[in-house]
Amino acid sequence: MGGFLSAIGDVVTNDVTYSGAMRFAALLAFAAIGETIAEKAGTLNISLEGMVLGGAFAGALGMHLTESVTLGLVFATAVGVVVASVQANMSHRLTANQFVVGLALNTLVLGIASFLNTSIQPVSKAAHRFEIKPLSEIPLVGDAFFNQPWPLYLVYPMIPAAWWLLYRTRWGLEVRAVGENPQAADVSGIDVNKRRRQSVYIAGLTSGLGGGYLVLGQIGRFEDAIVGGQGFIAIAAVIFGGWTMRGVIGGCVLFGTVNSFRLTLPTVGHELNSELLSAAPFVVTIVTVTFFAYRTREPRALAQPFVRGLT
Amino acid sequence: MSSQQPQPAAEGPETAPTASAAAPPAPSRLREAGEAAAMYLGCIVAALIVSAVIVWATGGSWQAVFSALLDGSLRAPGRWGETIGIAIPLVVVALGTAINGRAGVVNIGQEGQVMMGSAFAAYVGVNMGGPGPVVIVCLLIVGALAGAMWAGIASWLLYWRRVPEVLTTLLLITVASQATGYALKVDWLLLAPFREDRSVRNQVSDQLPGGVRLPRIDIWGNDFPISAIAVVLMAVIVFLLFRRSVWGFRLRMLGRNPRTAQRAGVSTVKYGTTAMLISGACAGVAGAMMLSGGDFGNYRFTPGFANNIGWEGLLVALVARSHPVGIVIVAFSFAGLRAGSGFLAATGVEREISQVVLALLVLALLVPPAILFIRQRRRALSATRDRT
């Protein structure tokens, strides 16, 4: 037990933990911001994993073709939206079961990405770091906030922007109405399925960008297992956060920190079982959601398809 | 399909004749069935064309790919036995999924439940002595219990703390794969004891002893484990449960309209939990059958033993729209795709293409029922509009 506590102490006083936590949290936040909007409109978007993965591969491919990080991110965003358009039109135009569509899309994107990855083998490298000089010298957390690969900083303006979109615009009001009571929204003249499709497009946009950030900002090279369930954890963060922007970001930071702990523990010289450590983020996610899910209320029409005249 | 629609024309039969005169005449049943069949065929062909284009775009030969897939699944000697062997766990997983789908509970963690089932079965099969048949039965039961336990966690959290089961089942997959990976590193759990003939101690369990393996049937050089017969029986039982039993009716009521079910005295918690446990047990048994059947991993449990069978079984159930007969057919075709992918190496195209074909087929098969549903809705709506 003492060994364990000293290990925790070592990790907490190590600045690598904080910068790693920020990087993981940023990936989760990219995906979770869009997912929040999609879930507010009533889509439980299982294909988030596929969107991030598609974005990651497209980012690597874009870098391979154009040798520019910016264009790589543009590619990534575009592919995220393409995946989202399949999800959106299948589940909110044809009203097919959104879980089936999501699962099939995850398989499809993984299949296509690993197929193309072996036949093209894109070459990419990580974006340079952007250091904000005096601030990055702050002990412990300076690096975490002010010395990161530059695509990470894109997540900061996205958080207030998404909040503003969701809570301060007419569009956001309609999106929330559609997720709470689609029948009432329909009667008041809102095109329910159109709003839902648009919100899924936004999820594709942000999580595609997140995939691009993952490959170009964090890892530098595409591999099949690059996302490894992070998309699912982002969905968990949305549920953990009770569908509020503040809570969702809190969830992302929490799960990102757990992930970073897992990676820092071995580097500061503490041997722990690798399987148990890899399972830790998932176990922590389940436990925390267990404690917080009861206090929150999901959008009432979450995961229910809307067909006019059918209640 | 038709039973799913609440009838909008509930006003009474006396208005019906004028309404049907005003509404566009409903096409005959035969023509409707023909249209549906044509739509399914068209969508499947479209999915195959898209996959052919992907192969062609990356410089492969699509004729060679499809021919290899057919060879590997059916045409080459002994291959349809292999396909049946793969179809067995797919059908079992899918039958379980059909049960929880009917009750309106979502379980997408079959992959983890398969893994838990096979890991526990491996432990029992290796360590329990005694007559072979007894051990086999115990192994299958323990596998079922392990799968049910894993699904039970999700349903317990759902009814205790309202944690969405979609999320927990999904996250428990990773936990299961890490936990079984851990068990394969520890001597007193699953790791095979060190022997002279193995130089490396990698993560692999002991092989099941000869008496603890399911007997295999051999028809014209195609051999598959005897569990195939049990699986067909299971499909029949599930069919009868759905069609003829009170329990099956209650499950459907719960899935279609929880409020009605509650009023009629069907306990959401009780029936939901039962459905979830059965679903997990099916996935666990599928894992135990995979282990003792011999088509996967050569009677050894390894990391990644489940090999996406859980995911594919789930897709089978969803594509077959939870119909037991449909499940058997779809499972056989998906298994064919998997067996066929083993022959792809000769064509020089990566075997991941079979995943792409599978996912495209799943997406394509979602389209026709959706279009039929929407068309039916429009017809019903226009009928009500004409009446008023």
Provide ipTM, 2 decimals.
0.86
Residues B324, B235 contacting (CB under 8 angstroms): yes
Same domain, residue pair B357 and B217: no
- Answer yes or no: is B386 within a domain: no
Average pLDDT rounded to a whole number, residues A95-121: 88
Is the CA virtual torsion B231, B232, B237, B242 positive or negative?
positive
**Residue A179 pLDDT:** 93
Same domain, residue pair B95 and B148: yes
Same domain, residue pair B220 and B367: no
> What residues does A131 pair with on adjacent strands?
A147
Burial of A183 (0-12, 13-18, 19+ CB in 10 A): middle
- Answer yes or no: is B387 within a domain: no
- Answer yes or no: is B371 within a domain: yes
- Interchain CB contact of B58 with A (< 8 Å): yes
Instruction: Determine the residue of chain B that is closest to A97 in CA distance.
Output: B366
- Answer yes or no: is B12 within a domain: no
* Partner B, chain A 61-90, Cβ-Cβ below 8 Å: 86, 90
- Interchain CB contact of A103 with B (< 8 Å): yes
Same domain, residue pair B251 and B181: yes
Same domain, residue pair B357 and B328: no
- How many angstroms separate the CA of residue A69 from the nearest CA in chain B? 25
Please check the confidence at residue B199 and state whether its pLDDT lies above 60.
no
Please check the confidence at residue B361 and state whether its pLDDT lies above 80.
yes
* Partner A, chain B 200-229, Cβ-Cβ below 8 Å: none
DSSP B371: H
Same domain, residue pair B323 and B203: yes
pTM for the whole structure: 0.87
Do B370 and A99 make contact, defined as CB atoms within 8 angstroms?
no
Which of A90, A98, A108, A292 is most worth mutating to test chain B (most B CB atoms within 10 A of its CB)? A108
All domains of chain A in start order, with CATH = 9-124+147-295 (1.10.3470)
Q: Among partner residues B58, B360, B381, which is closest to A108 by beta-carbon distance?
A: B360
Residue B6 vs residues A310, B9, B10, B14, B366: alpha-carbon distances, Å: 8, 9, 9, 19, 22
* Partner B, chain A 30-49, Cβ-Cβ below 8 Å: 44, 46
**Residue B115 pLDDT:** 92
Same domain, residue pair B169 and B249: yes
- Answer yes or no: is B10 within a domain: no
- Answer yes or no: is B240 within a domain: yes
Domain count along chain B = 2
- Answer yes or no: is B383 within a domain: no
Do A100 and B362 make contact, defined as CB atoms within 8 angstroms?
yes
Average pLDDT rounded to a whole number, residues A180-186: 92
Chain B residues closer than 8 Å to A100 by CB? 315, 318-319, 362, 366
Same domain, residue pair B103 and B246: yes
In whole angstroms, what separates CA A197 from the centre of its chain? 18
Same domain, residue pair B42 and B138: no
* Highest-pLDDT range among A93-97, B1-5, B186-190: A93-97
- For B315-327, write each residue's pLDDT tens digit: 999 888 888 999 9
Please check the confidence at residue B5 and state whether its pLDDT lies above 50.
no
Please check the confidence at residue B60 and state whether its pLDDT lies above 80.
no
Number of Cβ pairs closer than 8 Å across A and B?
Answer: 152
Do B367 and A96 make contact, defined as CB atoms within 8 angstroms?
yes
- Interchain CB contact of A111 with B (< 8 Å): yes
Same domain, residue pair B197 and B333: yes
Q: What is the rounded radius of gyration, in angstroms, for the C-alpha atoms of chain A?
A: 20
Chain A residues closer than 8 Å to B8 by CB? 309
Please check the confidence at residue A273 and state whether its pLDDT lies above 50.
yes
Same domain, residue pair B259 and B350: no
Burial of A271 (0-12, 13-18, 19+ CB in 10 A): exposed
Chain B residues closer than 8 Å to A275 by CB? 178-179, 181-182, 185
- Interchain CB contact of B94 with A (< 8 Å): no
Q: Can you give the residue range of the structural domain that contains B69?
A: 36-76+345-376
Residues A261, A4 contacting (CB under 8 angstroms): no
Please check the confidence at residue B16 and state whether its pLDDT lies above 70.
no
Angle at A251 between CA A245 and CA A255, to 5 degrees: 150
- Answer yes or no: is B305 within a domain: yes
Can you tell me the distance from the alpha carbon of B274 to that of B251, in angstroms, rounded to the nearest whole number? 10
Can you tell me the distance from the alpha carbon of A73 to that of A215, in angstroms, rounded to the nearest whole number? 9
Please check the confidence at residue A159 and state whether its pLDDT lies above 50.
yes
Length of chain B: 388
Question: At B156, which CATH number?
Answer: 1.10.3470
Least reliable range by pLDDT among A54-63, A251-260, B160-169, B196-205: B196-205
Q: Which residue has the tokens 């990219």?
A: A30
> What residues does B191 pair with on adjacent strands?
B205
Q: Among partner residues A95, A118, A278, which is closest to B350 by beta-carbon distance?
A: A118
Same domain, residue pair B155 and B46: no
Q: Which residue has the tokens 């009667």?
A: A187
